[in-house]
Amino acid sequence: MEYDVTIRNIFATQSVIEQLSGRGLMGFFKYDGWMNNRPLEPAGFGAGPGTSLLAPLPTPAYVPVYTTAEYSLYQVSNKGSLNTDYYHLPDKRTLVYNRQINFAYWETPLALDSGNPLEVTAAQLKAICPEASLANIEKHVAPLNKSMQKYEINTRLRQAHFLAQVSVESDHFRATREYASGKSYEGRADLGNTQKGDGVRFAGRGLIQITGRDVYVKYGKYIGKDLTQGENMKLVEEEPWASDAAGYFWLIYKKAKNINARADSDNVDSVSRAVNGGTNGLQERRRYTANAKKIFGLK
């Protein structure tokens, strides 16, 4: 039959695998003794001298699998044998423990499988743009992944170019609004700034900073929001719009520039001109693209 036991969250880490195999500092934490005294509940790891790592529950009680801040419940199956036990984690992974050789391992190698093989992780973004703080990256990584899926940035090479451009345009994920006031855009008919105050009102926003009344009007219609009224234009400074606007700009607003095709040809300078209109930050754009290609295993 199947039953539930309590195991601390740390059990799923390399440190506990080492403990089970006898290589860790806590070699006294023996598997047999632990199993013979189940069900067990952690008694506050590191709580202080004299506190045992595990303490028996007053009354044996098998409970459903769930997780708390202190510990997780892992289901143990009779799938195993005299020498092997299988622990089914709440996230569907299985940890196998071989009692004969005192070794624990994952039945299936650990992987961040989101169902999207092209999903980018925060760690990868950090490696692409080392100057960015992980805290800032984590604000944007999920909506960026959605934006890339939505706007056909669906190859590793396209992602390499897109993320490099985003890294520079957002000042290493520090800003979703340009630092300048926008006064320099006043009267710029090529940006659609035909009304007084448009320069400041429609300054650059988003992770690829969309700029000017024209793009705000078109993007607003696309998402079903009037970004010209009141303070609505500031929505683009927030997620998910900051990332979504970047994808919209890349695929739809700049459709005539065909930025994905430029990325497909692996031409950083051409992509940069389409995004920024010039060579501003070109060395960084090249460096981040090279970083991304290395991270994604591209030549």
Taking the C-alpha atoms of residue 25 and residue 49, their distance in angstroms, rounded to an integer, is: 16
**Which of the pair, 196 or 109, is modelled with greater confidence?**
196
Confidence at residue 69, expressed as pLDDT on a 0 to 100 scale = 44
100 shares a domain with 140: no
126 shares a domain with 98: no
pLDDT at 150 over 90: yes
HSE, side-chain direction, 13 A CA sphere, residue 218? 15
Taking the C-alpha atoms of residue 257 and residue 24, their distance in angstroms, rounded to an integer, is: 58
Tokens describing residue 34 = 């632990």
Confidence at residue 17, expressed as pLDDT on a 0 to 100 scale = 40
- 231 in any annotated domain: yes
How far does Cα 260 stand from its chain's mean position? 23
Percent of the chain scoring above 70 in pLDDT = 62
- Are 148 and 154 spatial neighbours (Cβ–Cβ below 8 Å)? yes
- 115 in any annotated domain: no
Confidence at residue 218, expressed as pLDDT on a 0 to 100 scale = 96
24 shares a domain with 57: yes
**Mean pLDDT taken over the chain:** 76
* pLDDT single digits (tens) 229-281: 999 999 999 999 999 999 999 999 999 999 999 999 999 999 999 999 888 99
Mean pLDDT along residues 3-26: 39
- 112 in any annotated domain: no
Structure letter (DSSP) for residue 53: S
248 shares a domain with 195: yes
Radius of gyration from C-alpha coordinates of the chain: 26
Tell me which of 49, 72, 106 is where a domain ends. 106
Tell me which of 63, 80, 106 is where a domain ends. 106
170 shares a domain with 74: no
Stated pTM of the model: 0.63
Strands (E), the chain: 3-8, 40-42, 54-56, 71-77, 84-88, 94-98, 103-106
61 shares a domain with 140: no
- 114 in any annotated domain: no
Number of compact structural domains in the chain: 2
Confidence at residue 84, expressed as pLDDT on a 0 to 100 scale = 75
How far does Cα 133 stand from its chain's mean position? 13
Mean pLDDT along residues 124-149: 94
pLDDT at 187 over 60: yes
Confidence at residue 91, expressed as pLDDT on a 0 to 100 scale = 55
- 185 in any annotated domain: yes
How many other C-beta atoms can be found within 10 angstroms of the C-beta atom of residue 151?
21
Percent of the chain scoring above 90 in pLDDT = 57
Please name every residue paired with 177 in a beta bridge, in sequence order, or none if there are none: 205
Mean pLDDT along residues 187-193: 95
206 shares a domain with 74: no
Structure letter (DSSP) for residue 168: H
151 shares a domain with 237: yes
Confidence at residue 24, expressed as pLDDT on a 0 to 100 scale = 40
142 shares a domain with 86: no
What is the extent of the structural domain holding 253?
122-295
- 30 in any annotated domain: yes
- Residue 181 makes CB contacts below 8 A (sequence gap 6+) with 199, 200, 203
Cβ-in-10-Å burial (0-12, 13-18, 19+) of 114 comes to: exposed
Helix (H, G, I), strand (E, B) or coil at 97: strand
Confidence at residue 142, expressed as pLDDT on a 0 to 100 scale = 95
Confidence at residue 63, expressed as pLDDT on a 0 to 100 scale = 31
| Local confidence band at 34 (pLDDT 50, 70, 90 cut-offs) | very low
- 111 in any annotated domain: no
| Local confidence band at 196 (pLDDT 50, 70, 90 cut-offs) | very high
Confidence at residue 83, expressed as pLDDT on a 0 to 100 scale = 72
Q: What is the CATH number of the domain that holds 184?
A: 1.10.530.10
- Residue 264 makes CB contacts below 8 A (sequence gap 6+) with 155, 157, 158
288 shares a domain with 205: yes
- 52 in any annotated domain: yes
Tell me which of 46, 77, 106 is where a domain ends. 106
87 shares a domain with 142: no
288 shares a domain with 140: yes
Residue 276's alpha-carbon distances to 55, 208, 210, 232, 273, in angstroms, are 62, 9, 10, 24, 5
* pLDDT single digits (tens) 71-126: 444 555 656 667 777 766 655 666 676 666 555 566 664 443 444 568 999 999 99
